[in-house]
């Protein structure tokens, strides 16, 4: 009996320790670092393993050349900084991608890698980089401004004067999901398509402990008259992927670009996401 009791205690303690270990591993991947130094130490290996490789942006982050330009843009230098006005734009480009290794990273792990990348660009951080301060984090030739623009630049969208909107970023959330508008731009043409277009870059974050499947089918833009517009299948050449159906895990997110066709330049009001299962979120775009 004593021997059996000891066995039960050992098994129980082992289960408790395993549970604590797994919980710790799960949580620490999304914990905000306590200092810039600890963030750089955490972000360095992620940057080296997922970004600065011969199969990606080059082992020195120098990019992959193609003729007189780049097949893959560099991670370092004036070219990188001028294409990314702030740290959130860098996050948006990374998070929109479909590479499995990047999808496996939590949002905070990506911010940690970006912090290291900015450090390699001689951009000094005053505090750890997070979702809360990324939009206002910049330096060097990063301009800091993203109001009414589209970044990185697109070679097939003809932008016009920016729309009148609230200051970016614009965010709203419920218990499960957070949506943030990081970029808003007007275009008079996208490729061969002519008209009046509103281009948005959206960041989604899973806030609870359940996976969420997101879809552009649940996204609408309301007009001033109350009409609901759907995203258009118009191809904007962008480093940020078009918003598409994707399942995201807790502590993870996704980013996507959407295009709406407007009757007139200012005929828009709210962005609405409603999957019919309690995840309705409305973001007022007008000031």
> Is the CB of residue 118 less than 8 Å from the CB of residue 129?
yes
User: CA 177, CA 215: separation in Å to the nearest integer?
Assistant: 13
Is it true that the peptide bond before 169 is cis, omega within 30 degrees of 0? yes
Which residues does 160 contact at the CB level (< 8 Å), separation at least 6? 186, 187, 188, 265
For residue 200, give the H/E element and its range.
Answer: strand 193-206
Which residues does 44 contact at the CB level (< 8 Å), separation at least 6? 116
pLDDT at 274: 96
Say which CATH class 157-284 falls into.
mainly beta
Q: CA dihedral defined by 83, 87, 93, 95, rounded to 10 degrees?
A: 180
Each residue's pLDDT tens digit in the chain (287 positions)? 444 444 433 334 343 333 333 333 334 567 899 999 999 999 999 989 988 775 677 666 666 666 666 656 778 999 899 999 999 999 999 999 998 999 999 999 999 999 999 999 999 999 999 999 999 999 999 999 888 899 999 999 999 999 999 999 999 999 999 999 999 999 999 999 999 999 999 999 999 999 999 999 999 999 999 999 999 999 999 999 999 999 999 999 999 999 999 999 999 999 999 998 877 999 999 99
How does DSSP assign 216-279, residue by residue? GGGEEEE-TTS-EEPPP------SSPBP--EEE-TT-EEEEEEEEE-SSTT---EEEE--SSS-
pLDDT at 74: 78
Written as six digits, the tokens of 129 are: 């980089």
- Nearest CA among 156, 162, 258 for reference residue 201: 258
Same fold, 36-136 and 157-284: no
Is it true that the peptide bond before 237 is cis, omega within 30 degrees of 0? no
For the chain, domain boundaries: 36-136, 157-284
CATH number for domain 36-136, candidates 1.10.760, 1.10.1740, 1.25.40, 1.10.10: 1.10.760
> Is the CB of residue 63 less than 8 Å from the CB of residue 73?
yes
> Is the CB of residue 151 less than 8 Å from the CB of residue 83?
yes
Locus of tokens 């939009």:
135
> Is the CB of residue 130 less than 8 Å from the CB of residue 111?
yes
Q: Per-residue b/e over 48-74, b at no fewer than 16 CB within 10 Å? A: eebbbeeebbbeebbbeeeeeeeeebb
């Amino acid at each position: 009996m004593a021997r059996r009791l000891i066995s039960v205690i050992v098994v129980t303690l082992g289960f408790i320790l395993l549970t604590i270990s797994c919980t710790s591993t799960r949580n620490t991947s999304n914990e905000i670092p306590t200092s810039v130094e600890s963030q750089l130490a955490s972000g360095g290996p992620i940057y080296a393993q997922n970004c600065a490789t011969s199969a990606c942006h080059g082992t020195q982050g120098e990019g992959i050349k193609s003729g007189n330009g780049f097949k893959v843009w560099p991670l370092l230098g004036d070219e990188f900084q001028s294409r990314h006005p702030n740290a959130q734009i860098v996050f948006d480009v990374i998070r929109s991608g479909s590479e499995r290794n990047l999808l496996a990273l939590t949002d905070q792990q990506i911010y940690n890698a970006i912090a290291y990348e900015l450090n390699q660009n001689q951009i000094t951080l005053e505090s750890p980089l997070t979702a809360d301060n990324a939009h206002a984090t910049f330096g060097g030739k990063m301009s800091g401004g993203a109001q009414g623009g589209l970044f990185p630049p697109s070679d097939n969208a003809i932008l016009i004067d920016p729309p009148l909107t609230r200051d970016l970023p614009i965010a709203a959330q419920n218990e499960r999901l957070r949506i943030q508008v990081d970029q808003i731009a007007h275009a008079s043409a996208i490729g061969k398509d002519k008209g009046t277009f509103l281009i948005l870059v959206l960041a989604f974050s899973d806030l609870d402990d359940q996976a969420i499947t997101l879809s552009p089918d649940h996204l609408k833009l309301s007009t001033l008259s109350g009409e609901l517009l759907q995203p258009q299948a118009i191809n904007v050449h962008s480093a940020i992927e078009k918003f598409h159906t994707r399942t995201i895990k807790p502590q993870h997110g996704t980013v996507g670009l959407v295009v709406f066709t407007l009757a007139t330049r200012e005929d828009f009001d709210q962005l609405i996401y409603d999957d019919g299962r309690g995840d309705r979120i409305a973001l007022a775009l007008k000031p």
